Structure 1
Amino acid sequence: MATDITDGVRSIKAAAVMGLLPARPRLLALGEPTHGEEALLHLRNDLFRQLVEEEGYRTITLETDCVAGLVVDDHVVSGGTGSASASGRASGSASGTGTAPGAGELDEVMERGFSHGWGASAANRELVRWMRAHNEGRPASERVRFAGFDGPLEITHAASPRQALTGLHGYLAARVDADLLPCTAETLDRLLGTDDRWTEPAAMMDPTRSAGRSAEARELRPLADDLVALLDAQAPYLITQTSREDLDRARLYGRTATGLLRYHHAMADPSPARMTRLCMLRDLMMARNLLALAARGPVLVHAHNSHLQREKSSMRMWQGPVEWWSAGALVSAELGEEYAFLATALGTIRHRGVDVPPADTLEGLLYALPEDSCLLDTARIATALDGTPPAPRVSSWFGYAPFDAAHLAGSDGLVFVKDLPQGPASA
């Protein structure tokens, strides 16, 4: 069995990845089984650089706030020529009327452009710096774009829908007849109220503290829907009055506004299905963002395995176990073979108390390989197992999710890192 697995071992290179796939996928996703480990992010950077340079990928998207990510995108595209509208977009206006390319020094970009505190990552900083340098002097068609594909969501709270709603309304108000708008900007401002009523941290554990089913929230949901419908109905006119990019940005605001209002509504749900709904809605927002990115060209995706796998995802929370279809499962159902997923599995994370895996687990079998890191053909692994499932690995640390051998068939390849070193978490 070890010989068969060894036959499927490859170096983690762009050419090796492409060799596992029938054709270049529109969305190529690389998962990770834990967050915040710099070694995994540096591995991601190296592979993504090769895929950009050798395979023509033109967008890199990470599991971070899709609206905040616009700040990073504005920064990296300013390395190119002819990006005259970027500074206007960085202000959140969606008008595309700025006159200077790019926005923000790198420190500011890393602070404002990432959610979950991931702007402090040295590897993320390195990625942003490389993207900007890569784009310098290149025409628009050859620049690499950055995007977040997560909603504006944190573990403790969800963002106010203000930025997305007002951005969408402002884009439309500047271009269509006022009589077609479902409400005025003043009405939106009144219904939105203060942002802290939306971001109340206690609402994550206590649905009665959520504003998601207030009278104002109930009124905002159909208004947001009407604004999105107006944007879609006026698209043939709007594309003659503005750039495709600015129209796409307005659509992002629309997806985010309706998604956030739906998420806040679920936060106020007192039923036992509450956390399942929240996980489901988060990944639905992710999937819709990924599909929108895929519509403009080939995309590289990085996130937790649980958000990218084709199988149902699961998690044990304070309310009990929850299951939901991940963004990867939703996108795969839509794109078929144009979606590809490489999972990542690990041997040890000793600084987190995760020691050598038992020999009868999948990670234990892979740990016996001589390579420090490698790419494996999941079909060969499945053949080597010959229908005998390895024992499940149980993590001693809640932050690491071992790879489920039952997911081999749903993965296009498996990246294995033998020993994960402890590294600096910030630049």
Structure 2
Amino acid sequence: MATDIKDVAHAVEAAAVMGLLRGRPRLLALGEPTHGEDALLDVRNELFRQLVEEEGYRTITIESDCMRGLLVDDHVTTGAGTLDEVMERGFSHGWGASAANRELVRWMRAFNDGRPVADRLRFAGFDGPLEITGAESPREALFALHGYLSTRVDTELLHSTCTVEALDRLLGPDDRWTNPAAMMDPSGSVGQSAEATELRLLADDLVALLDAQWPHLIATSSPDDRDRARLYGRTATGLLRYHYWMADTSPSRMTRLVSLRDRMMADNLLAVAGVDAAAVGAAGSAAPVDRAPVLVHAHNGHLQRNKSTMRMGGLPVEWWGAGAIVSAQLGAEYAFLATALGTIRHQGVDTPPPTTLEGTLYALPENLHVVDARRLTTALGDTRIEPRVSPWFGYSPLDPAHLADTDGIVFVKDVTK
């Protein structure tokens, strides 16, 4: 069996990855089983560099705030802002402090310098403005959408929908929305207040106005500006929906919240890939900007095709993640590489048992491989593979029962600081 497994393992190179896939996907998703390890981001960076130089990739999107990501995209495409400013303000989840993320942004900017616009690399965040402890105020997205419309749509038509003053009054102080206590205590959320309910209606009306004016907007704004307007609309309505369910008291509250987050992720991924259904329907021949093929990077749990699971407050939660939603829509145009790890010794994750999937792969000689998941399944045959149990909550081992749902496995034998 060991010989067979060696035969299905290759160096992590763009050509080897593309050789595992049945076609050329619009979205190539690379998952990770833990956050915060720059060693994994270094692997991502090198793969993206090769995909750019050898396979024509021009976009990377990561699990970070979609609104903040616009600052990173502006920097890598035009040089706007300094690298320090972009790393501080352009990422959520504290990922601006990552040396590997900094190197990614620096390299993208250097690559783009002097290139024609059509050949420049693009960056996007595809997460909502959400943290594990709560959600942002919808203010930025609502005001950005209103601002876009205010310079292109008849003033009376826009004001009959809502004014800046009305939005400001209904929003109130932003700390009402960002109260961290609301994540665990629904009574701390303003999401079902009279003001929030009215804001949901106004946000929906603003998006409807955007759709209704689309023929005019095609002639008066650039494709990038229109794509951003759609992003503002998705984010505003998504945040208000998320805040509504933060105030819910039913037993399904947490399932609803994690599902809504991944739904926002999925919508953003489809838009980045140029298949934003709402925009196509409204625009006809003026489809969204096509940035495919795109490398996607996030936690395995967000990108896998099978149901995602976790425990919150001691209770199991199951939901369909962004990858499952996107895969259901794109089919073969979505590909998923899961990352598996051998050890993270500085986190107490030691050599995996040989009866686990990770333990089987740990016998490979080199530290880094990409493994053909389908051929690995054949090589394992009737060998009993047990699920690995992590002693550290921050690492999620692969479930061998879903090996067939992946297009490949990136295996990192030992993760070191």
CA–CA distance in 2 between the matches of 1:233 and 1:389? 58
* Alignment equivalent of 1:270, drawn from 225, 249, 259: 249
Structural RMSD (CA): 0.9
Structure 2 counterpart SS, 1:218: helix
Question: Would the aligned equivalents of 2:337 and 2:407 in 1 still touch at CA under 8 Å?
Answer: yes
* Structure 1 residue 5 displacement after superposition: 1.3
* Structure 1 residue 387 displacement after superposition: 4.2
Instruction: Determine if the alignment matches structure 1 residue 135 to structure 2 residue 112.
Output: yes
CA–CA distance in 2 between the matches of 1:136 and 1:46? 19
* Structure 1 residue 389 displacement after superposition: 4.2
Structure 2 counterpart SS, 1:31: strand
Structure 2 counterpart SS, 1:316: strand
Structure 2 counterpart SS, 1:76: helix
* Structure 1 residue 388 displacement after superposition: 4.1
2:267 partner letter: R
List runs of 5+ in structure 1 lacking aligned partners: 79-101, 423-427
Structure 1 residue aligned with 2:322: 327
Identity percentage of aligned residues: 73
Instruction: Determine if the alignment matches structure 1 residue 153 to structure 2 residue 133.
Output: no
CA–CA distance in 1 between the matches of 2:384 and 2:337? 20
CA–CA distance in 1 between the matches of 2:30 and 2:320? 17
The farther-off stretch of 378-387 and 349-358 is 378-387
- Counting only pairs closer than 5 Å after superposition, residues 59-74 of structure 1 correspond to structure 2 as 59-74=59-74
* Structure 1 residue 180 displacement after superposition: 2.5
Structure 2 residue aligned with 1:46: 46
Compared CA separation, residues 389 and 236, structure 1 to 2 (3 A): farther
List runs of 5+ in structure 2 lacking aligned partners: 275-289
Q: Once the two structures are superposed, what CA deviation does each residue of 1:59-103 show, in whole Å capped at 9, x if it has no partner?
A: 11010000000000000001xxxxxxxxxxxxxxxxxxxxxxx42
Structure 2 counterpart SS, 1:417: strand
* Structure 1 residue 104 displacement after superposition: 1.2
Q: Once the two structures are superposed, what CA deviation does each residue of 1:143-172 show, in whole Å capped at 9, x if it has no partner?
A: 000000000011112000000001001111
- Counting only pairs closer than 5 Å after superposition, residues 1-400 of structure 1 correspond to structure 2 as 1-78=1-78, 102-181=79-158, 182-295=161-274, 296=290, 297-400=292-395
Question: Would the aligned equivalents of 1:275 and 1:319 in 2 still touch at CA under 8 Å?
Answer: no
CA–CA distance in 2 between the matches of 1:334 and 1:224? 26
Structure 2 counterpart SS, 1:342: strand
Structure 1 residue aligned with 2:408: 413
CA–CA distance in 2 between the matches of 1:178 and 1:298? 39
1:234 partner letter: Q
2:151 partner letter: A
Question: Would the aligned equivalents of 1:272 and 1:319 in 2 still touch at CA under 8 Å?
Answer: no
CA–CA distance in 2 between the matches of 1:358 and 1:252? 45
Structure 2 counterpart SS, 1:270: coil
Give TM-score, length-normalised by structure 1: 0.92
1:126 partner letter: E
* Structure 1 residue 267 displacement after superposition: 0.6
* Structure 1 residue 385 displacement after superposition: 2.0
CA–CA distance in 2 between the matches of 1:257 and 1:353? 41
1:70 partner letter: L
Structure 2 counterpart SS, 1:18: helix
2:42 partner letter: H
Question: Would the aligned equivalents of 1:347 and 1:355 in 2 still touch at CA under 8 Å?
Answer: yes
Give TM-score, length-normalised by structure 2: 0.94
1:177 partner letter: D
Question: Would the aligned equivalents of 1:389 and 1:405 in 2 still touch at CA under 8 Å?
Answer: no
Q: Once the two structures are superposed, what CA deviation does each residue of 1:167-195 show, in whole Å capped at 9, x if it has no partner?
A: 00111111111332211111111001110
The farther-off stretch of 391-400 and 319-328 is 319-328
CA–CA distance in 2 between the matches of 1:238 and 1:266? 33
Compared CA separation, residues 270 and 389, structure 1 to 2 (3 A): farther
CA–CA distance in 2 between the matches of 1:124 and 1:217? 36
2:174 partner letter: D
Structure 1 counterpart SS, 2:63: strand
Structure 1 counterpart SS, 2:136: coil
CA–CA distance in 2 between the matches of 1:315 and 1:282? 14
Between the two proteins, the alignment pairs up a number of residues equal to 399
Structure 2 counterpart SS, 1:64: strand
* Structure 1 residue 248 displacement after superposition: 0.5
CA–CA distance in 2 between the matches of 1:202 and 1:387? 49
CA–CA distance in 2 between the matches of 1:348 and 1:244? 45
Q: Which runs of 4+ in 1 moved over 4 A?
A: none
CA–CA distance in 1 between the matches of 2:384 and 2:219? 57
